[in-house]
Amino acid sequence: MSNRPDIHISEVGPRDGLQSLRQTMATPAKLAWIDALHAAGLREIEVGSFVPAALLPQLADSAELVRHARGLAGLTVLALVPNLRGAQAALAAGVHKLTLPLSVSAAHSLANVRRTPAQMLEELRSVAALRRERAPGVGLEVGLSTAFGCTLQGRVDEDEVIRLAVQAAAAGADEVGLSDTSGMADPAQVRRLFTRLRAELGARAGAAHLHNTRGLGLANCLAAFDVGVRSFDASLAGLGGCPYAPGASGNVVTEDLVFMFEAMGLRTGVDLERLLAARAPLRAGLPGEPLYGMLAEAGLPKGFVAQQAAGHV
Any idea what the Cα angle at residue 13 is, between residues 232 and 152, rounded to 5°?
80
Strand partners, 19: none
Cα torsion for 301, 251, 139, 204, to the nearest 10°?
A: 80
Task: Give SS3 for 141.
Answer: strand
Active site residue 150: no
Q: Which of 164, 207, 242, 257 is catalytic?
A: 242
- The answer to whether the CB of 42 falls within 8 A of the CB of 76 is no
DSSP H helices in the chain: 27-39, 62-69, 84-93, 106-113, 117-134, 158-170, 187-201, 217-226, 254-263, 272-277, 279-285, 294-298
Report which DSSP code applies to 211.
Answer: B
Residues with a known catalytic role: 242
